[in-house]
Structure 1
Amino acid sequence: MVTVHIEGVPERRLGRSGPVTLAAKAFGAIPPTALVLLGVVSVQVGAAVAKQLFTQAGAAGTVTLRLLLAAVVLLLVWRPSLRLDRRTYAVIAGYGLVLGAMNLTFYQAIKHIPLGAAVTIEFLGPLAVAVLGSRRWLDGLWALLAAAGVLLLTRVDGGLALPGVLFALAAAVCWAGYILLAAALGSRTSDGKGLALAMVFGAALALPFGVAEAGTMLLDPVVLIAGAAVALLSSVIPYSLELEALRKIPPRVFGILMSLEPAVAALAGLILLHESLHPAQWVAVFCVVLASVGATRTARPEV
């Protein structure tokens, strides 16, 4: 298993073998920067498709489908052993529960506010991980720029719905915890086995909420197909593209490209969901993008 940690972006776990690697080989001829950008687009298109599914399965139901399908696929691919010590199980459970909570809160956020706004606010999580603990004044400036961007985003044109903002902030906290727990998971498990078990915990957390909101709609063939599309767009395709790109470009370049996610999310919301942002809110989005790029570009290399 490759654990990817870039300053200002989340850690993502990419398998060395199996369907993900096979899919990645198909993109070998594409320039690595284009691979990363295509992955970013895929994630945000997946979120837009998920939001359109809310009318049938609800936000919690959509999350449940995504996590359950992902758990089934990962268990089939990795076939993890259950013979683990208690501390390893604790790490796996913690990681999975944070992953589930992150998805639940983020989908609730985009239920109330535009996709671009939700991703911008949520991006404060990985950005905080990148700058907290640093004593350099420059990192403090990046944090202030991001905070100013989010403040502007929430106050322009009557502001955003408070529940959506609060859910997005909760998702940001979960994203930060996800990054921190990923290192512990990587040190205690190998390949994708730990991730497969963690996904079970995440799905178990989401399941009661999904059943309560969607009920038998979760078994509807059309809803299941749409849920599979969300899982494909949000997980399989971007992870395959990122794995191939990381073989060819430095991690810091990867992190800078990933910092474009809030802007891409805003564009996806505009094109696919007809969610328009006020011009000042676009400025706010780019403030957060600039802060993330700056924090990634100027961060001290790890030793």
Structure 2
Amino acid sequence: MTTNRAGLTGARAGALMATGSMLSVQVGLALSLGLVEYIGVEGAAWLRLAWAGVLLVIIVRPRPSAFTRSTFLTSMLLGVVTAGVTLLFMASIARIPLGTASAIEFLGPLGVAVLLGRGRHRFVWPGVAGVGVLLLTEPWAGTVDVVGIGFALAAACCWGAYILLTQRVGDSVEGINGLAVSMGTAAVFSTLVVGPAVLPRVTPEILLIGIGLALLLPVIPFTLEMLALRRLTTAAFGTLMALEPAFAMLVGFVVLHQVPGAPALVGIALVVAAGIGAARTGARTSPPVPAGAVT
């Protein structure tokens, strides 16, 4: 009985963490768009990654003893993927609505859920999501931004890899040492890629704003996601994260005044339904926790 209660409490905590992560991500993304006119899309993404890397390395001070050679390299690879998903998604929302970009990006974790799931019926969900994306982008209207959609699809691929790598790092590295290394790597990688073009446009005021944005995204949500994945099965986590496109559309409406039409609302509903359906078909039943891990 005590074990069941502890498991239920842990699941509730994990659900709250996942929900808090989604809200933090979408609000952070919406507010980041305010910096685009000053330092560009790539600059807004870089600023968050750079500060996140600095803050996490200073706060966590990852210990070499927490890693094997393999887990350290995996954490670094996670950092490169994290930088990729951040830069690409920011580029997409500069061209297409936040809700639409989020729904397309969600095809990444949906694909992971389908591939790792069980039962033939799981292959129905990508088709349902595909119909939803078509309703969101309305290619028949002739106004589709192909480049924006391309950036969102590339971000989807990175997000799928991010989920797999985050789970592996969370399972094998104590506490959030792996997250600190991955975000430090993301900061260095993004600086090398876009830093030379962005740094001349950065002012002290923009740097200060960047600290707050980095906390909203990615420090708080990525930490919450890694801890939530230790408390929830992949199916439960995936079901919760399937709500993210809906959160994105809501935040886009409230913060950015992006008003969705009826087809977009139906499209979001289909993507969310596909995500929930795919998540429930499979994955882990008992996520492991590394010895000594902070839970």
Q: TM-score range by the shorter chain?
A: 0.7 to 0.9
TM-score (norm 2): 0.80
Residue 258 (1) aligns with residue 241 (2): yes
1:113-132 CA distances to partner (integer Å, 9 max, x unpaired)? 11111110000111100011
Equivalent runs, 1:14-93 vs 2, <5 Å:
36-82=18-64, 86-93=69-76
Structure 2 equivalent of residue 229 of structure 1:
212
1:210-250 CA distances to partner (integer Å, 9 max, x unpaired)? 334423333x1321232222222224444677789889988
- Residues 246, 205 of structure 1: CA spacing in aligned structure 2 closer, same or farther, 3 A cutoff? closer
Cα shift at 1:269: 1.3
1:127-186 CA distances to partner (integer Å, 9 max, x unpaired)? 100011545232111121012211232225434311110000000000111122224434
Q: Find the partner of 1:208 among 167, 178, 192.
A: 192
Q: Find the partner of 1:169 among 146, 149, 153.
A: 153
Q: Is the 8 A contact 1:263 1:289 kept in 2?
A: yes
TM-score (norm 1): 0.78
**RMSD of equivalent CA atoms:** 3.0
| Secondary structure class of the residue paired with 2:94 | helix
Structure 2 equivalent of residue 6 of structure 1:
none
Equivalent runs, 1:262-273 vs 2, <5 Å:
262-273=245-256
Counting aligned pairs with the same residue, the percent is: 38
- Residues 87, 247 of structure 1: CA spacing in aligned structure 2 closer, same or farther, 3 A cutoff? closer
What is the distance in 2 between the residues matched to 1:202 and 1:247? 23
- Residues 111, 217 of structure 1: CA spacing in aligned structure 2 closer, same or farther, 3 A cutoff? same
Q: Is the 8 A contact 1:74 1:192 kept in 2?
A: no
Equivalent runs, 1:117-266 vs 2, <5 Å:
117-134=100-117, 136-155=119-138, 157-186=141-170, 188-218=172-202, 220-238=203-221, 253-266=236-249
Q: Is the 8 A contact 1:217 1:223 kept in 2?
A: no
Q: Is the 8 A contact 2:179 2:223 kept in 1?
A: no
Residue 107 (1) aligns with residue 90 (2): yes
| Secondary structure class of the residue paired with 2:210 | helix
What is the distance in 2 between the residues matched to 1:246 and 1:188? 12
**Where in structure 2 are there 5+ consecutive unaligned residues?**
1-11, 287-295
Which letter maps to 1:45?
V
**Where in structure 1 are there 5+ consecutive unaligned residues?**
1-29
What is the distance in 1 between the residues matched to 2:259 and 2:245? 14
Residues matched between the structures, number: 273
| Secondary structure class of the residue paired with 1:276 | coil
Which letter maps to 1:265?
A
**Which shifted more, 36-45 or 169-178?**
36-45
Which letter maps to 1:67?
L
Cα shift at 1:205: 1.7
Which letter maps to 2:23?
V
Cα shift at 1:190: 2.2
Which letter maps to 1:69?
W
Cα shift at 1:45: 0.9
